[in-house]
């Protein structure tokens, strides 16, 4: 595939990998599935599994060091989203929420506050369960990001 648009998936806990493969196949986009451990991926020449050994942030580092304009990053990791936005990439959470220059500061602040509240025992548990509505919102957000990049002459 010779497209300049590529999708980078922070894959260890990504619930929308199948959706990414389906959309990327339709648009003929290269997909990098990046994880700290071995993951099964479809055997397609446009899907590249990247297993990154090392510390907990090694997969994040691999992604952040390679993305720029024309990259779409799929992650729920807010610090990684921040790094990728600064590099010029489009970033989408698995629930379809786009991370942007305008929204990332608040997302980082909220993440830090929730981390502190959990550490104090004030808040317990994590995010709400992933739903079909989240999956649909993700598909819509991914399609919009691809179309926007194609209109910008990157596809």
Please tell me the predicted confidence (pLDDT) of residue 119.
74
| Class for the domain spanning 6-100+131-151 | alpha beta
What is the predicted pLDDT for the residue at 2?
40
pTM of the model: 0.85
What are the tens digits of pLDDT across the range 31-80?
Answer: 999 999 999 999 999 999 999 988 878 999 999 999 999 999 999 999 99
Instruction: Name the band, by pLDDT with cuts 50, 70 and 90, for residue 5.
Output: very high
Residue 117's pLDDT is what? 66
User: Where do the domains of the chain lie?
Assistant: 6-100+131-151
Band (pLDDT 50/70/90 cuts) for residue 1 is very low
Residue 11 is encoded by which pair of tokens?
Answer: 């894959």
Report the helix count and the strand count for the chain, using DSSP H and E: 5, 6
Tens digit of pLDDT for each residue in 80-106?
999 999 999 999 999 999 998 777 767
Sign, CA dihedral 39-50-144-98, equals positive
Provide the phi-psi class of 102: left if phi over 0, else alpha when psi is between -120 and 50, else beta: alpha
Helix (H) or strand (E) holding 38: none
In percent, the amount of the chain with pLDDT more than 90 equals: 69
Give the distance from CA 23 to its chain's centroid: 14
Q: Is the pLDDT of residue 23 over 80?
A: yes
Burial 64-86 (b: 16+ CB within 10 A, else e): bebbeebbbbbbbbbbbbbbbbe
Question: Are the beta carbons of 31 and 6 closer than 8 angstroms?
Answer: yes
Is residue 7 very low, low, confident or very high in pLDDT (cuts 50, 70, 90)? very high
Instruction: Identify whether the C-beta of residue 68 lies closer than 8 Å to the C-beta of residue 88.
Output: yes
pLDDT(3) > 70: no
Residue 114: band (very low, low, confident or very high) from pLDDT cuts 50, 70, 90 = low
């Amino acid at each position: 595939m010779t497209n300049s648009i590529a999708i980078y998936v922070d894959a260890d806990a990504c619930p929308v990998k199948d959706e990414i493969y389906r959309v990327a196949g339709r648009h003929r986009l290269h997909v990098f599935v990046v994880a700290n451990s071995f993951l099964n991926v479809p055997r397609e020449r446009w899907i590249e599994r990247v297993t990154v050994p090392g510390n907990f942030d090694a997969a994040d580092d691999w992604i952040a060091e390679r993305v720029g304009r024309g990259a779409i990053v799929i992650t729920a990791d807010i610090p990684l989203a921040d790094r990728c936005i600064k590099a010029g990439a489009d970033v989408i959470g698995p629930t379809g929420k786009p991370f942007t220059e305008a929204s990332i500061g608040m997302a980082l602040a909220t993440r830090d506050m929730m981390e502190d509240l959990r550490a104090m025992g004030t808040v317990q548990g994590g995010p709400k369960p992933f739903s079909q509505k989240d999956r649909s919102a993700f598909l819509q957000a991914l399609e919009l990001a691809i179309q926007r990049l194609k209109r910008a002459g990157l596809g």
